[in-house]
Each structure stands twice: as structure tokens, then as C-alpha cells.
Amino acid sequence: MAIPTLALVPTGVKAGKVYSVLPETGVGDFTFTRASAATRINSAGLLEVEATGVPRLEYPLIDGVVNGCPSLLLENQATNLITYPISFPTANYWTRSGASIEADATTEGTETVTNGNFTGSATGWVLANGAVYGTNNIDLPFGGGKAYQGGIVGVVNNTYKLEYTVTANTSDSVLTLYGFSEHGASFFAMNTFVVDGTVGTHTVYLQSSASAASGVIEFRNVGGTVGAVTLDNVSCKEVQGYSSPSVDFPTSAFKLVEDTSNALHYFYHPTIGDAGIKTASFFVKAGERNKIGIRDGASGGSYVSFDLENGIILDEFLTATGTINAVADGWYKISIEQTITSALRYQIFILPNSYTSGSVIGTYQGDGTSGIYIFMAQVEQGSYATSPTLTSLTAEGTTTTRVAEVCNGAGDASTFNDSEGVLMLEAAALVNQDSDRVITISDGTNSNRVTLFYEQTTNTLGYNIVVGGSSQSVNIQTLIDVTSFTKVCVKYKTNDFAFWINGFELVTDTSGATFGAGVLTELAFSGGGGGTTFYSKTKQIQYFNTVLTSAELETLTSWTSFTAMANAQQYSII
């Protein structure tokens, strides 16, 4: 077989550049731009942040294990509408019902509260609105009795374990952590948070404020007409989350834990007023519970339920469709896609292990310790989940955007033969149906081009040879699934065109012209005039400046073994 004059097997990248294997002069290298950081799956199967302008080599996962060489990942712009996608303990954003959000208590740091045991006095605390010191404790009467401590020093935007004991409660009021303190900014990222006022020791995990490293912790007994809450043993210590499938956020997973009620056990984010096609995605892992439901609580009640033990979808309701894909260390990336009519609010339900299908709104008796692990929430415009857009914890508190990628400019007039040649591609689309996505050899316009493309129609792949603005040979094939890797090539020569897919010649065309001398000058992941970017995962591109025989084209678009084919298609071999 002839040697290609341009070959890309994506293994070498740097900011602004994707290196081709051939030619060795560098003429075949691609110019790359992305005006933001982005994330990818690295060679260990973990999420990893790539800096602004650095191309992404995405490694394939089969059953959660890296298997095979990387592909060049190109994605369109996407914005995550979730403003706290990692910090689930943020109480003024993620609301719990019949459940708590927990971190890893074994990682707790030093105490931040002074005299939380109230030994001999309430030194360090300010008591107001009728609150009084008892015997090594404090009494907060109904109607607003409060105790607060300022100057609590911690790390901004970190997770803290707040523990306290209620030794008596004769009140009909509500015990709260008060976030609107007139005595200074709250230490926690919250407004007013209702806490457990029953007798016993209680733990709540909360996110510290992102705006100040020092703040106020205030307990307030709100409302009621009688009695008081007796408070003791207040403690606040920094903790880490659980291990996550991420290099850059390695201990930022949390656990959604059911309480002891016979109720629903879930949490949810605020309503997002944004209509259209939306996709929500989460990384989740089974704990003591292995079933989870994702439901839109604001726009009709569509839901998808998942089995995190077997990695399957259990049920889809109304307009919702789901996906589940294994990542490293027992984690799955799950998604729910649907059309939103006016607003959305996703609820994440813990489901009993006995659940098989049907509504995710079902009560059951919780045990107070069982749950699931969760990491990185994303809600975005569009019909499929893209890579996470959050690349820094300091970016939380607002939406985050990954800017669209552009990869063009490989080759020159000496690289390409205008009268004959072969363009070969091995790639996978990111979604079955989207706008046109095009890879092109051209003169920098759409008037003269050799094009391979995914079409808007579901699971379609085609080619088009355009000379002087007139199509000479064109064909579109329907595949089973364009999101699986496909080997495809187009051969062009005057009155001799052919289209091969996965080892089979599907099209021949014996009528049509090719280009005049010196016309073709550039290979780009886009149309000749720009736009219609080839958003995809690309494993290889080869360009030959002469036509190949049918036997060579069959070899070029085939696999060397069943195992190689199965791995390329990301099938599980059983």
C-alpha cells in the first residue's frame, strides 16, 4: 500500500497545535483553538482538566476500563446551567428532603468553634432574644432566641461538618441555622437552613461561604408559642468529600443518605427558567443503595431510573430518555434528555434496592445510613450530555461555559493531488442526530472540496465531491449507530469515485470531474468556508495522493481481528 502524504493519529498535542505523524515537515499539523479550559477522560479513565487552548485526547472506556488508543475530542460550545455542580452541601442551592448530603467524616480537621461545650460559661458566644446560659449548655426560647459566634475562621468554599446536641426540647418552634445574621456574614453558604431540633446528636454537612474566610455561626429558635431548645456540644470542622473519578477534584464526591423516615428521599436544585431541549448529567456510584431516579419536578414529571449495580436503565417516563456509561472505579455517568416547556428542576431520588420500574416518587422506610455517591451535575442545552464545563471550584456560583473548538489548517498544495486521491477517516459522532458535521479537503471555500460528513438526519454518513461549485459525486448512507467508531474512505478520480465503510464498498460512481492543478490546499475539521465543525471523536485520518486498489481500500477500512473491531466499537466481549 502507498504511504499517505498526510496522517493524523492523535498522540501529540500542545496549546494551539495537533501534530500529524506525516508529513514530518510539520506541514500536516493542525491549528487548534478553544478559548476556555475543558475536561477529558485521561489514560487512567479519570476526568482531567485541560488548560485553555490545549487539545483533548480522550481515552475510550469499556466497562469503566481504558481500552485502546485516544481520539481527538472536538465539542461545540456548552454552558452548564447548574451553578453549584460539585458543592452539593451548598444549602442555599441544593435542597434536601428525607435525606442528607454527607462528606467523609474520617477526614475531619481542627475545631473552628470556641467553647462549643459551654463548659462553665458561654464564653465566646453571644446570647440574645432571651437566650440564657444553663448548666454547661444554652437555652434558646421560642420566638427567636439565638446564640451566635463570630470570627469563625475557615477556608472559603470548602465543606464543613457541623455537629451539635439537643439535650432537651420543650418548644413548638423551629431550630435553624440563621444565614441572614445582622452580626456579620454567615460562615456557611446559605440563607436560613432548618436543622433537626429533636433530642439527640445531629450532624449536617455544609459548604463554607465563597465570599469570606471568616464568618458567623448562628443558631436561632424561630416561631412558636412555648418552650425552649437546649443546645450543647457545638462543633464545626473542615472535611473532605469522598473519592471521585477526577484528577482535579479527587475528593469532591458526596453521599446522598436517606434519613430514618418512611418518606421520599431526594434532593434538588432551584428551578431553572429555560425552555427547550435539555440534558442533565451526573456521575453516580452505588453505595448501600444501587438504584437512582432523576425526575423533572417542574415541567411534567418526566423521569429516568437507573440500576447502578448492573449499569442499565430501568425505566423512562413521558418525554425523558436516558443514558448510562461506566467510568472508572465503579462510577457511572448518567443522563436524562427531554424537551422542557417552560422551566426545569431536577430531583435526584434514592430508590430502594427492590425497585424494578415505575414511578420514582415512592416512599420507603429509610435506615439513616444507606445512600449513593454523587459527583458533578450538569444541565445544558441540547440533546446529549457533553463533557463537564466546570474546570475550577472558584468558578462555582455562576454558570460555566466551555467554548467551541476549531481545528483546521493541515497540509498545503503539495500535500494533495487535485486529480486523484483517497481520504480515510476513523471517527465516532458525539450524537446520532445533530447539525451537519464536516471534514474537508478544500481551497478554503465550499466551491472546491472533498468532504466526509455526518448529516442532520439520524445515523447518516456521506461524502461529496464539489468542483467549481458543482457536485460531481455524492452519496449518503444510513448506519446503525454513528456514535460507534466507523472506518470510512472516499476515492476520487475523474469518472472513478468510490465510497467504503467498515471494509465494504457501498458506492461506485463512474461519472464526474476532479480539480484543476493547485486547487486543494487545506484539510480541516470543518466545511471549506468554515462552520459545520466536525464535532466528534477522531482516531485517525489518512490522505493518499493516489487512488488505491479495492483490496487496499478494504484493508484500510477493516480491522485486523474480531477483538480489534469489538474494541473499536466499544463493545463488551463476554
CA–CA separation, 169 and 174 (whole Å)? 10
pLDDT in the model for residue 398 = 94
- Strand (E) or helix (H) holding 440: strand 437-442
CB-based contact 350:268 (threshold 8 Å): no
pLDDT in the model for residue 210 = 72
CB-based contact 333:327 (threshold 8 Å): yes
The gap from C-alpha 435 to its chain's centroid, in whole angstroms, comes to: 21
CA torsion sign for 285, 286, 292, 297 is negative
Choose among 235, 469, 263: nearest CA to 367. 263
pLDDT in the model for residue 96 = 94
**Burial bucket for residue 168 (CB in 10 Å: 0-12, 13-18, 19+):** middle
Distinct helix (H) and strand (E) counts, the chain: 2, 47
DSSP 163-184: EEEEEEE--SSEEEE-SS-TTS
- Strand (E) or helix (H) holding 566: helix 562-568
Total residue length of the chain:
574
**Cell numbers representing residue 290 in the block:** 444501587
pLDDT in the model for residue 566 = 67
pLDDT in the model for residue 274 = 81
DSSP 328-343: GGG-EEEEEEEEESS-
- Strand (E) or helix (H) holding 555: helix 550-556
**Reported pTM:** 0.92
Q: Residues 6 or more apart from 564 whose CB is under 8 A from it?
A: none
Dihedral pair phi/psi, residue 566, rounded to 5°: -65, -40
DSSP 380-401: EESSS--------GGGTTS-EE
Q: What is the pLDDT along the chain (574 residues), one digit of tens a residue?
A: 889 999 999 999 999 999 999 999 999 999 999 999 999 999 999 999 999 999 999 999 999 999 999 999 999 999 999 999 999 999 889 999 999 999 999 999 999 999 999 999 999 999 999 999 999 999 999 999 999 999 999 988 899 999 999 999 999 999 999 887 678 889 998 888 899 999 999 999 999 987 767 899 999 999 999 999 999 999 999 999 999 999 999 999 999 999 999 999 999 999 998 889 999 999 999 999 999 999 999 888 999 999 999 999 999 999 999 999 999 999 999 999 999 988 999 999 999 999 999 999 999 999 999 999 999 999 999 999 999 999 998 899 999 999 999 999 999 999 999 999 999 999 999 998 888 999 999 999 999 999 999 998 899 999 999 999 999 999 999 999 999 999 999 999 999 999 999 999 999 999 999 999 999 999 999 999 888 999 999 999 999 999 999 999 999 999 776 666 666 665 666 6
CA–CA separation, 249 and 242 (whole Å)? 10
CA torsion sign for 69, 53, 81, 95 is positive
Dihedral pair phi/psi, residue 31, rounded to 5°: -90, 130
537 DSSP β-pair partners:
73, 428
SS3 256: strand
Q: Residues 6 or more apart from 395 whose CB is under 8 A from it?
A: none
**Cell numbers representing residue 322 in the block:** 436516558
**Cell numbers representing residue 155 in the block:** 477556608
DSSP 290-330: -EEEEEETTTT--EEEEETTTTEEEEEETT-EEEEEE-GGG
Tell me 246's DSSP state: B
pLDDT in the model for residue 573 = 63
CA–CA separation, 121 and 107 (whole Å)? 30
CA–CA separation, 324 and 337 (whole Å)? 12
Choose among 469, 463, 481, 473: nearest CA to 497. 473
Choose among 425, 439, 464, 451: nearest CA to 553. 425
